[in-house]
Every structure is written in C-alpha cells, then in structure tokens.
Chains A and B, each alone.
Chain A
C-alpha cells in the first residue's frame, strides 16, 4: 500500500475535526502517517492513532516554533523523503498552503489547494472561481501535495480503538534556511463556539446588525453554530477579523449558513456559496443574497433572529 502523509499543525490529545478528516481520507488512500508540526505527548499520539495514523514523523529535538514556515517545510520535506509518500494531505489554511507550496519547490512536486475530495488515483476535486466551477485535477510530477478544505470528508461513525501508537521517526533537519521570527502570538479569544472553518452550522451577520452582534450570537448559540461576519462588519470593528467569511476571510462549507443583514457581494459569496443550505434574512427584497438562498426572509434581523432562537430553544425543550 502507498504511504500517505498528513501534516498535523498542532497535535493535541483530541484531534480537531479537520485533523480527523485528513487522517480518515489518508487512511482511505493508503497507509496514513502523521507528520507532527508541534510537540506531541503520548495522549496526542494515541489520539492521532485512533483517528487513523499508523506512523509518525517528527523533528529530532523538536521543531523550531519561532521560525515562520521554513522549519515546517524542512520537516515535511524530510518526512516525504524518509517515507517515499505518494501524497501529502495538509489543512487548507494559510500555513498548510504555504508549507505545501515550499515543499513542492524542494521536491519538484505539484500542489493542489482547496480539495474537497481525492480518489484512489489521487485525482482531486476542487471548486474554482469562487465556487462557480468544479474541476478535477492531478499532480503529474513528484508526490501529490494536497490541501483539504474542512467539512469535506465523511467521518467514520466510531473512532477505531486506540491501539499502542507506533514509534515516532525522528528526522534530523539540519539548517532550515532563512525564516522570519515569530516574536509574539495573540491567540484568538476563546468563544466556546465551534471553529468557523469546520463548523456544521454558521450564523453570520453583516452591516445590517448595525453594531449589535447579540441577535446573531444568540441564534448561533441556540443552534450550536459558529459566528461569521461580512467584511463590512469586521471592518467596522463590531467583531474580530477572524470571523470574516469570504474571499479574504475564511471559506466555509457548512451544512447550514444563515446570513443576516448581509447584501451578498461577490467577495462574501466566494466564502460561503458551497454551503449545503443557505438561509438569508435581509430587509431589502432585492438583496443579491436572495439569489443563492434556499430560504429567503425579507425582514428585520432584529425581529426574526431572536424569534427563531426562542423557538429553537422552545422546541428543544
């Protein structure tokens, strides 16, 4: 069976949904091994093993966490050479794309981003042009470096019982090349809500919330949804930039996207129009967002959202 590597950005006791999707897909394509992009304790290894990893690669002496991207590229390059992997799956994040991009230069390989599926021949399905086309593409040279969008892979019902985790191959990286230094990190404030890019449900607000994200957050919490926003709302400072959905924010493909007080500009649609179901609430009947909504509600979000949140809570009892 061919070796498939999965790049794990931050190993943790409980793998994230995105990491489990990567490992589940890798296990479907071959023998899945995890490349550890950060320190991993026994709990992290067994968590990854139960998600499908049967082997591990790590940087001997640990990965230089203050070097931007270049150390991770050296690790991935070394892991590909050591494993002879035919494919590497990475998250479709800024980091995942950049690591793949640079490793591809070193390995004389091809990269395909934004994958939503990969078949046994390593043919990749991906949306292009802001979701207006779907293409199938292949890497023709070197290992296939593929970044996978979250919410693309059906996860197995029950995780495999965690056996004893396989030993970790420690790789000597040597000089990893010029890199910018990360001198400080301001972590995103914990909201207690699902992570936007991998959430099943998203409720997003735009300029129409007029400074008050309360109704959007309330409906999100009633549904167990992540909170998103248009750039107009993040630019206004009503909510953190990390909530921005769209061309220059996060791309989401949830089961359900509720858009409230968002007009539906092309840059916003680019980040959400592959959602399974779209509901739009907007007081302007001519808002372009209604063209892509499965259910459109012409109305005031300050009325409609609280009523819906209360009704959901009532039905849940």
Chain B
C-alpha cells in the first residue's frame, strides 16, 4: 500500500464472554450470580473487534506495524472470547483470570482492566463495545477513560483516523442528537452496532489463530490485592433477585375485517383511551 498511513497504531480491544442472549439466562440461587454456562463472545464486542481491525487496515495493517490485541477478564472459559477475536484477525490475546475476580461490579472490573492496560503500556486506542449483553450497564468504557486519564469517544456509530493524522473523529448518538466528536490519541473508544458489519472468521483465520499468543495475567501479576476486586472490592451489592413473572397469556384473534375495531375495544376496556 502506498498511501501515507502515518505512525503505526497499537490498538487494544476489550471483549467479554457472556451467556448467549438467544437462550434463557439465569441467576443462581443463592448468590444471585449469573449462570455463565453456554457463553459466547458478546455480540456487541464483535463491532469493536471489527472497528479495531478496520482501523489497523486503514493504516496498512500488521505489515505496517499496526497491532490489534484482544483482552478479556473472566473465568477459564472466557479464553474463548479472545480465541474468537484472534480468529477474526487480532494478532495477540491477553486473558486476565483469577478466582478472586468473581463478582466484580463495573467499578472493580474497570480497575482491573485499567491496571492491566497501564502495565502492558503503549496503547493508542482502547476499543470496547457499547455495552455488555449480560450486565447491560455501559459503565466500564467511561470508567476506563477516567482511570486511564484519556478522552472518551463513546457510543460511536462512525469512527475514523484520517490517514497520516493522530486525530480520531467520529459520530456519537447522544441525547441531543448526533454529535460530531474528535480527540487526539490516545483515546478510549466504544462503538455501537451501527458502526460496521463484523466479519466472520474464515478458515485461514481459524487456522492462524491457533498459532497466536495469548498471555494470561493473574491478580498478583497485576499487583492488585484480592480485597480491591471481586465482590469485596465492589461498591454495589445485589440483595435479592426474582424472575419476572411470565406475562399472562393474552388473547390472539385473527383479522376477518374488524380487528382494528377489536383493538380499540381492547384499549377502551383497559381504560387506555
């Protein structure tokens, strides 16, 4: 490629292994912890991986010295989220795993991730999805920006670094409308499902992933105390959980020309009009 690609980028993409949203998900009793069997890479993180790969490719990819590293925090099985990222095209993986991490809320999670990011060092762009599909809070990206002391470019539906520059521009869907936003590297970016169309791992990608390196990190290696993470380090606590009562089976009618009237009768009976 002959375009002026600028300085190569070190890109870190954060991924999470979550229970598949297509199946029924459960909280365990006691403990109110999420049952993590049948987990997959969070589908919202696929957009972050795609954005990371596209950013790298826009500057000449691996050959030009750009790197995409995928990092996750979670139990042993969470390594599968990193593996899928490698199959899609990330060059290396990091898996933070320690029994003491179980029960970490967003604040504790962002502490662990930020500590690891600082220790690994040298990232120009840290990319995440817009939310995890299990906790659904969207807190971690903003907390990472805070802890890393970098600008946040979150909830982006479009992301670009013009060739040869170090300014990130994007479009963000905010409360007031669509904002054009920009910041100089290094930055924390989260992307929405509007940002791109994630690629599927192809056969070559799946084979290549087997040779890629995944580094495992423990709490001790991060220099974090057990009490600072997990349930003990979290500033929130779940007291109780109850499955939502299933919606009472409603009535189903087939339109034979008068269903619009029946709809209005239903609204009137329910005192909605």
Contacts and interface: CB of A to CB of B under 8 A. Distances in A.
Interface of A: 9-10, 68-70, 73, 91, 93-95, 97-98, 100-102, 104-106, 108-114, 123, 127-142, 177-188, 201, 223, 231, 241-242, 247-248, 255-256, 258, 266-267, 270, 273, 277-279, 281, 285, 290-300, 303-312, 315-316
Given A97-B138, A135-B240, A181-B181, A296 B259 contact: no
B263 A304 contact: yes
Contacts of A184: 179-180
Given A97-B139, A298-B252, A308-B263, A108 B152 contact: no
B202 interface: no
Nearest to B145: A102
B154 interface: yes
Contacts of B175: 9-10, 91, 93-95
Contact of A312 (B134, B138, B258, B264): B264
A296 B251 contact: yes
A138 B183 CA distance: 36
Given A178-B150, A256-B267, A137 B173 contact: no
Contacts of A266: 21-22
A68 B234 contact: no
B4 interface: no
B266 interface: yes
B244 A312 contact: no
Given A179-B183, A307-B259, A68 B25 contact: no
Interface of B: 21-22, 24-25, 27, 32, 34, 44, 105-107, 110, 130-131, 133-143, 145-147, 149-155, 157, 172-183, 187, 192-194, 234-244, 247-248, 250-255, 257-264, 266-268, 270, 272-273
Given A110-B234, A273-B247, 7 more contacts: A102-B142, A129-B27, A135-B27, A201-B272, A258-B263, A270-B21, A296-B250
A139 B151 contact: no
Given A97-B142, A181-B181, A185-B179, A109 B151 contact: no
Given A101-B139, A110-B107, A312-B273, A68 B242 contact: no
B176 A10 contact: yes
B237 to A, nearest CB: 5
Contact of A248 (B107, B134, B181, B193): B193
A277 B270 contact: yes
Nearest to B25: A129
Contacts of B136: 113-114, 128, 130, 247
Q: Is the interface of A mostly helix, strand, loop or mixed?
A: mixed
A182 B179 CA distance: 6
B272 A113 contact: no
Contact of A142 (B147, B193, B235): B235
A226 B208 CA distance: 49
B251 A137 contact: no
The 7 closest A-B pairs by CB, nearest first: A307-B260, A299-B255, A110-B235, A296-B252, A180-B183, A101-B142, A308-B260
A201 B264 CA distance: 14
A181 B244 contact: no
A91 B172 CA distance: 18
Nearest to A251: B136
Nearest to A105: B146
Contacts of B192: 248
A187 B21 CA distance: 33
Given A10-B176, A135-B238, A294-B247, A305 B154 contact: no
A316 B263 CA distance: 15
A93 B259 CA distance: 37
A210 to B, nearest CB: 17
Contacts of B181: 68, 180-183
A123 B235 CA distance: 13
B177 A185 contact: yes
A133 to B, nearest CB: 5
Given A129-B27, A297-B262, A303-B260, A98 B154 contact: yes
Given A109-B235, A310-B260, A304 B255 contact: yes
B223 to A, nearest CB: 19
A216 B263 CA distance: 14
Contact of A307 (B174, B241, B261, B273): B261
Nearest to B181: A180
Nearest to A292: B247
B172 to A, nearest CB: 8
